[in-house]
Amino acid sequence: MGKFVFNKTAIEGVYVIEPTLFGDERGYFMETYSESDFKEAGLDYKFVQDNQSSSRRGVLRGLHFQKEHPQAKLVRVLSGEVFDVAVDLREGSPTFGKWVGELLSADNHKQLMIPRGFAHGFLVVSEKAEFAYKCDEFYHPEDEGGVMYDSAGIDWPEVEGELILSEKDLKHPKLAELNFKFKL
């Protein structure tokens, strides 16, 4: 039995990945990444950095990308639940400006594989969430870019109260005003 199910999404290169859980009365075990299994599925990435964040309900992080040092990301939730989104910013892509979203949670164990050339963000829908991701490029703060969260037609889930965004995320341009596209 394979350790992962690689589900294609409506956008080329973005996958929802479901790991196989091996459980008994003690709990469960799962692999969250295996270079050979991912390579066999056509996802040949060399991850160089792992990141983790903790956020409360209503926190929306994103939509972020790096311009000159784009990152592919393998994202998952360690506790809680988030609505995770990838927006295609690849020049010439038939799905440019389109988005894919998936509920990721500690209960469903799903992961989202986001290739280079996408803006990425997530909204915390549970009381609290711990979010982890692997990147195939290092973070370069001077290279940051972003898209305003409400300008790509994303159908964000409703959460109690106001959305909580950083000052930086409130200043991103709208998708239609973005003068940047990935030349991949």
If you write DSSP's letter for every residue of 7-18 in order, what string do you get? Answer: EE-SSTT-EEEE
C-alpha gyration radius of the chain: 16
Known active-site residue 64: yes
CA torsion 16→20→25→27, rounded to 10°?
A: -50
Print burial letters for 70-82: b (CB count within 10 Å at least 16), e (below 16): bbbbbbbbeebbb
- List 64, 120, 149, 172, catalytic entry: 64
* Residue 149 among the catalytic residues: no
Catalytic residue, chosen from 15, 33, 133, 149, is 133
Catalytically active residues, by annotation = 64, 133
